[in-house]
Amino acid sequence: MKTLLCLVSVLFLASCTEVSFPTHQPKGISPLKAFPTELRGYYLTDEGDSIQDTLLIEESSYKILNGKPDGEKSWMDAAEISDSLVVKKYKNLYFISFKENNEWLLRVLKRDKKGNLTFMMMGITDSEKVKSLSELQKELPVQVIELSDNEKYYRIDPTPKQLMSLIKKKKFWEESKLVKLK
């Protein structure tokens, strides 16, 4: 099922290495204490033929309303703003950073005039790893962070200006649409 932080397909997860950051992003921008009023509410994931979930964003938390039994829910199905889930607004985008394995992972939300959200993330696809890494290294240094179980991250440390440049150059994929329910 989809979640706010991990609205990606099984195929994507199996064929992509996450890009991580040494701190929540964009660095130097103050975190929000709550989700902004314009983000709060119910959203439906717009995933074509796949199963749709409802996302509820509240003042200081979000949760997926997908009918899973409690025993099958993951920590990503619900979370509260904390020292390991940080929300920031910068240049009309919302940045949601979460800490996993001592690395910060990032999701970006872009809100349209109707209140719908475009969900973006960044990763290096295994099928085009050399090309993707080469392109990213032209922008800024990339450090490989090796984890156990053959898992790794590619860490970058952009300035806010570099981060916005990566978004404009479509290094962040538009992974999903979240349609705001009235």
Rounded to 5, what percent of the chain is helix, strand, coil?
Answer: 20, 40, 40
The answer to whether residue 87 is domain-embedded is: yes
For every one of its 182 residues, what pLDDT tens digit does the chain have, with 9 covering 90 and above?
Answer: 334 444 333 333 445 788 999 999 999 999 999 999 999 999 998 665 556 788 899 999 999 887 555 545 555 678 899 999 999 999 999 999 999 989 999 999 999 999 999 999 998 877 777 788 888 999 999 999 988 777 889 999 999 999 999 999 999 988 889 999 97
The answer to whether residue 152 is domain-embedded is: yes
The answer to whether residue 65 is domain-embedded is: no
The answer to whether residue 43 is domain-embedded is: no
The answer to whether residue 56 is domain-embedded is: no
Question: Taking the C-alpha atoms of 34, 8, 132 and 129 in order, what is their torsion angle to the nearest 10 degrees?
Answer: 130
Q: State which residues form the domain around 120.
A: 10-36+82-176
pTM of the model: 0.85
| pLDDT of the residue at 105 | 94
The answer to whether residue 73 is domain-embedded is: no
Q: Based on the structure, what is the number of domains in the chain?
A: 1
The answer to whether residue 98 is domain-embedded is: yes
Distance CA 78, CA 58 (A): 11
Cis bond upstream, residue 26 (ω within 30): yes
Element (H, E) at 87: strand 85-90
The answer to whether residue 72 is domain-embedded is: no
| pLDDT of the residue at 174 | 84
